[in-house]
Structures are given as C-alpha cells and as structure tokens.
A and B are shown apart, each in its own frame.
Chain A
C-alpha cells in the first residue's frame, strides 16, 4: 500500500491521526497532516483506509 497526503487541502481535523497514529501525525505550528509512513505494513492497511474515508477533504490518497 502506498499513501500520499495533500497538505494544502488538509484542514487539520485530526481524523487520520486518530484512525492510524503510526502513519499520520500533525505539524506543531498548525496541525496540518504529516505523513510518517508512506508504505504502511499490511496490518495497518485497514486503519489507513479508514483514515482516508474519514478525511473531510479527501486529502489522503491510498494506492493498494
């Protein structure tokens, strides 16, 4: 699985961090998403898919 994020679109809702803490984090200055792991392991796949579905501005792209 390959993950990318769009920081310009991100509105810092934090949904992705709650869904998959090992993969997403937020910038200190404004809470905008930071991608920790662009190639998450298989056991994180479900959480990452959830994060992408929960993101209110579709700023998380997942390639299976």
Chain B
C-alpha cells in the first residue's frame, strides 16, 4: 500500500447515504439529487469499490428485467452490501435457470386465489391482536404488540414453523439484515437459522403436514432437492416473510399518523379499492428495502452513452425510482388515491418479490382494520424520539409507542 488516495474514488458519492434530518420518509437527498443530474453514475461503497448506480425509473425497470444482469452474489464484481460466504439465501442470489427451478417449487401458495383464501384467517389474527391491545396497558409498542406478530403468525402457518419459536427466528433475522453487524455475526445467524430449518425439514420428512416446508421435504424425499437447498429456501422464506411486512405495518402507520388527512380518508372509507390503493401508495412512498437492488453485468450494457462493462457491479436504488417525477407526478407527496401500482417496491424482473400477493393482502387487512377499530390511535412520543432503522437492510422503526 502506498497510502495514496484514488482521486476518482474520493469524488464519487458514497452509497448508501444518510437521510435528511427531519425527513424520515424520504430517500437520502444526495441520492435523489443524482437522479436529477444523471442517468448513470459511479458510487463508492464502504469497501472502497465503485459500482454503477442507475438513477431513473425506466432504466431501472429495464435493467432489472434484462438477462444481461445477474443476481449471482458469488460472481466477481458483485456489489454485495457485506462480505458473503457461499450463497446463504438460496434463489434470491441466483440466476436462471437455477433460480426459476427453485422459485417455482414455492410459488403455489402465493397464487392470488390461494392468498385470497387466507384472508379470513389473517383478518382473525389482526382482530385478535387488536382486542389484546385494547385490553392491555397504554401506551404500547405497536411493533412488538402488532406489527411483528401479524406477518410472523401468517408466515409460520404457511411454512409450518412453530410460532412459539418467534423470539429465536426474529432475533436472528434481525442480525441477518442489519447493516452494522460484522460478517461473522451474520454468518452465525445464518447458520443458526439454517440448522433450525434443517431440523424442521427433517421432522416434516417423517410427519408431513399441509404446509410449504412439508412440500419441500417431499421434494427432498423424491430427490428433486437436497436437504441443505430445502433449508436455505426455508430460511429465505421465513426471513423475507416477516421482517419486510412488519416494517411496512409500523412505518406505514407512522406515515399515516404524520399525514392526518390521508389517514382520515382511509379511516372513513369502506371501499376496499381505496384500501388497496393506499397499500400500493405506501409501498411506493416508503420503499423500505432501501439498500438498492444489487446486480453484476454479464455483458457490456450501454446506458445514456456510457457503458457498464461486463463484470462491473450495478446498484438499482428502487427508492429513488419510486420518487421519479417522470413515473409519478408530484412524487414526494403521499396520496393514497393515486394509481401507484407501477411502483418498484417489490423490485422488477424475474426476482420480483415472490411474497407480494401475501404482503399486499396482509397490508390491506391491517390498514383496512387498525385505524377503524382504534380511531383515536396516536403517537405516544415525538417524531424525533422514534428510533428509525437507518442501519438495517430493511428500513422501518425499531419501536413505535402509541396510545389512544
């Protein structure tokens, strides 16, 4: 090492960047400003590498659906948020055809008709948790009392994971998606979750039930899948299935409390179409997966007269695409009546969120029920006292003290 500083890297904006103080719902202003200036630029990651960052909605969508772009985290040049060991999270980090083969093994229960059939169960879970909150002490932390239990109970039932183990899998999931833990800590969490799911798959091999882990165990029995592959898929589904939705419930509630006119519209309407529209708009506006989609180029790709070379890393920060005025007029305004369905909060291309029908239905039930059953719901702290997950791969709040 000579100790000289690479002048190009020094001038390159850092990514991820910090949000502005007092604007907890908006993407970092420095990243938003990049979109206004350019379609393609280099950014600097914590490890010193300088991958490309694609700023606009249209370019991001096109690239996410482009077969010349790879999700394979083991390829050199992949701009991983943290050092990786192997491929811990199954097909989310793979390319087709392997990705498609594995993904199709778990898509059946997420079909729209199957998810709709679960709606009464989710409604009951939501109603029961609200009953418990209303009967309990005030103020209460909405995250622990409501936002985390709803999707955790639902994904446990779908997968066939005992909900009694929720402290274990919630704690380890949190380590997995935290930005500020060491790679070693993250690997330990992955190993714990993998061992846990491996044990459950073993149990389902002997005693199959009507759940997704049993269907994976069945494929292991038939030799279509190895047991470690099945366990990795289980870890992916369990982690992705509860943290994201939980953050949308808590952060969505906070955003609505801070936009009382929008909250009133939602509370006073009994039109399911408005509730569905509010879900899409909150997904767009809040965009919680704020580390950007990460990819590496498999071939030279030209954008706006510049060339992303084969083997170079690409970051697609979907949060600023969802605030692109070309795609969404007046993008920084939360407006639950707009048609926001074309947002990229679930990504785009072959990796677009597998759980989105379920997440949508859960959020529709929650946003359509919580504020009607507790119409005087309000924050029990000042906004600047709320701890935000600036350090997590999934944005949200650690705690949300509320009362009524």
Task: Please give the residue numbers on chain A whose beta carbons come within 8 Å of chain B beta carbons, in ascending order.
Answer: 11-14, 17-19, 21, 25-32, 50, 53-54, 56-58
Give the contacting residue for B108; candidates A11, A19, A28, A53; CB below 8 A.
A28
Contact of A30 with B108 at beta-carbon distance under 8 Å, contacts A18-B357, A56-B349, A56-B352 already known: yes
- The answer to whether B342 touches A12 (Cβ under 8 A) is no
Residues of B within 8 A of A53 (CB): 342
- The answer to whether B350 touches A57 (Cβ under 8 A) is yes
Give the contacting residue for B112; candidates A17, A56, A57; CB below 8 A.
A17
Residues of A within 8 A of B103 (CB): 11-12
Give the contacting residue for A14; candidates B100, B111, B341; CB below 8 A.
B111
User: How many Å lie between the Cα of A25 and that of B113 in the bound state?
Assistant: 9
User: How many Å lie between the Cα of A21 and that of B112 in the bound state?
Assistant: 10
Give the contacting residue for A29; candidates B65, B108, B350, B353; CB below 8 A.
B108
Q: Count of B residues near A, CB < 8 Å? A: 28
Among A13, A50, A54, A57: residue with most chain B CB under 10 A? A13
CB distance from B222 to the nearest CB of A (A): 14
Asked whether B356 is an interface residue with its Cβ less than 8 Å from the other chain, the reply is yes
How many pairs, one residue from A and one from B, have CB atoms within 8 Å of each other in the complex? Answer: 69
New A-B contacts (14) at CB < 8 Å, excluding given A11-B354, A14-B356, A32-B107: A12-B111, A13-B353, A14-B115, A14-B357, A28-B108, A30-B107, A31-B104, A31-B108, A31-B114, A54-B342, A56-B65, A56-B349, A56-B352, A57-B65
List, sorted by A's number, 5 A–B pairs whose CB atoms are closer than 8 Å: A11-B107, A12-B354, A13-B357, A25-B113, A56-B347
Contact with A along B349-378 (1 / 0, CB 8 A): 111111011001000000000000000000
- The answer to whether A58 touches B100 (Cβ under 8 A) is no
Q: Which residue of B has the minimal Cβ distance to A18?
A: B112
Residues of A within 8 A of B100 (CB): 11
CB distance from B98 to the nearest CB of A (A): 14
Residues of A within 8 A of B342 (CB): 53-54
Task: Please give the residue numbers on chain B whose beta carbons come within 8 Å of chain A beta carbons, in ascending order.
Answer: 64-65, 100, 103-105, 107-108, 110-115, 341-342, 346-354, 356-357, 360
- The answer to whether B65 touches A14 (Cβ under 8 A) is no
Contact of A50 with B341 at beta-carbon distance under 8 Å, contacts A18-B357, A32-B104 already known: yes
Q: Which residue of B has the minimal Cβ distance to A12?
A: B107
Residues of A within 8 A of B110 (CB): 12, 14, 31
- The answer to whether B349 touches A26 (Cβ under 8 A) is no
- The answer to whether A58 touches B356 (Cβ under 8 A) is no
User: How many Å lie between the Cα of A17 and that of B357 in the bound state?
Assistant: 10
CB distance from B170 to the nearest CB of A (A): 27
Residues of B within 8 A of A29 (CB): 108
Residues of A within 8 A of B65 (CB): 56-58
Q: Which residue of A has the minimal Cβ distance to B64?
A: A56
User: How many Å lie between the Cα of A28 and that of B109 in the bound state?
Assistant: 9
Contact of A14 with B112 at beta-carbon distance under 8 Å, contacts A31-B107, A56-B65 already known: yes
- The answer to whether A26 touches B112 (Cβ under 8 A) is yes
CB distance from A33 to the nearest CB of B (A): 10
- The answer to whether A26 touches B104 (Cβ under 8 A) is no
Residues of B within 8 A of A28 (CB): 108, 111
Residues of A within 8 A of B352 (CB): 11, 13, 56-57
Residues of B within 8 A of A58 (CB): 65
Residues of B within 8 A of A54 (CB): 341-342
User: How many Å lie between the Cα of A32 and that of B111 in the bound state?
Assistant: 8
